[in-house]
Amino acid sequence: MKIKCLSIDDEPLALKQIGSYIEKTPFLESEALCSNAFEAMAFLSDNEVDLLFVDINMPDLNGMDFVRSLTQKPQVIFTTAYSEYAIEGFQVDALDYLLKPISYAVFLKAANKAKTWFELNRRQSDVIQTTNDYIFVKSEYKLMRILLSEIKYIESSNEYIQIHLINDEPVTSLIRLKVIEEQLPKDKFMRVHRSFIVNLDRVKVIERNRIIFDHHIYIPVGDQYKETFQAFVDKTFLI
């Protein structure tokens, strides 16, 4: 398992150091290095990562406020030269807090903590079982059987998903969107956005790169997924 990482720091040398630490750690993978929170926002709008290494003391938008602003929150390890931020860092559920200067030994200890968290979280996917017709997911201590044909779309919210159904209330489950995506049949379900998977059989109306369900639910097609989705449209719809 590779943990996809994004690093954010306005100090070039500190950013380069974290990037090099990630590269030498076998279970980590560096997706991007950003020099400020706004670069990171732009990257995250079209890309998904598992773990953020975030400097706290940055101009314009500090790391703490940046993390609070995210609607889809990866796991976070804060880096800073100021120890007074430690308590605040853990109040936003950071996995760890590293005080600069950061040695590789200290970095690796935090990385291993992240690895343990992701391994425990991934085990939740053991409750997912799929067949050609239905899927079992754990929801509120119950194992629920859901017909694939009844699913309209699946929406991600942090570490949870909501499975939206045709004639029933949404089912909430503590599963990451990527995990359930890997279990669903590729010819029936497609990831169209970092936060959405749709049932292709339920796609009836498309308008301006948005999929419309029930005349009031608009699901955007992200830039990263447009080419694949357009291929489906070209094959399915008479234009």
Quick one: how far is CA 15 from the chain centroid? 22
CB-based contact 210:219 (threshold 8 Å): yes
| Domain annotation for the chain: domains and CATH numbers | 3-123 (3.40.50.2300), 128-236 (2.40.50.1020)
Q: How far apart are CA 175 and CA 66, in angstroms?
A: 24
Q: Count other C-beta atoms under 10 Å from residue 189's C-beta.
A: 21
CB-based contact 28:34 (threshold 8 Å): no
**Of the candidates 126, 131, 234, 136, the residue with the CA atom closest to the CA atom of residue 185:** 131
SS (H, E, C) 130-171: ECCCEEEEEECCEEEEEEHHHEEEEEEECCEEEEEECCCCCE
CA distance to 75, 133, 148, 220, per residue, from 225 (Å)? 24, 25, 22, 10
Q: How far apart are CA 147 and CA 135, in angstroms?
A: 6
For range 134-157, the mean pLDDT: 87
Give Rg (Cα) of the chain.
Answer: 20
pLDDT tens-digit readout, 39-93: 999 999 888 899 999 999 888 888 989 998 887 788 999 998 876 655 555 556 7
Q: What local confidence, expressed as pLDDT, does residue 59 receive?
A: 87
**Of the candidates 35, 40, 100, 28, the residue with the CA atom closest to the CA atom of residue 67:** 40
Q: How far apart are CA 52 and CA 160, in angstroms?
A: 18
For range 183-202, the mean pLDDT: 92
For range 21-29, the mean pLDDT: 97
The lowest-confidence range among 60-64, 67-71, 158-162, 207-211 is 158-162
Tokens at residue 222, please? 């992200």
Phi, psi angles (nearest 5°) of residue 25: -100, 115
Q: What stretch of H or E contains 207?
A: strand 205-207
Q: Could you tell me which residue, 19 or 89, shows the higher pLDDT?
A: 19
pLDDT tens-digit readout, 103-127: 999 999 999 999 988 887 665 554 4
Q: Which pTM does this prediction carry?
A: 0.60
With a pLDDT cut of 70, the percent of the chain lying above it is 89
Residue 174 has pLDDT above 50, yes or no: yes
Torsion, CA 26, CA 28, CA 30, CA 34, rounded to 10 = -130
Q: What local confidence, expressed as pLDDT, does residue 3 receive?
A: 94
Q: 154 pLDDT band (50/70/90 cuts)?
A: very high
Q: What local confidence, expressed as pLDDT, does residue 162 receive?
A: 92
The lowest-confidence range among 11-15, 77-81, 173-177 is 173-177
Residue 131 has pLDDT above 90, yes or no: no
Count of positions (residues) in the chain:
239
Strands 151-157 and 210-213: unpaired
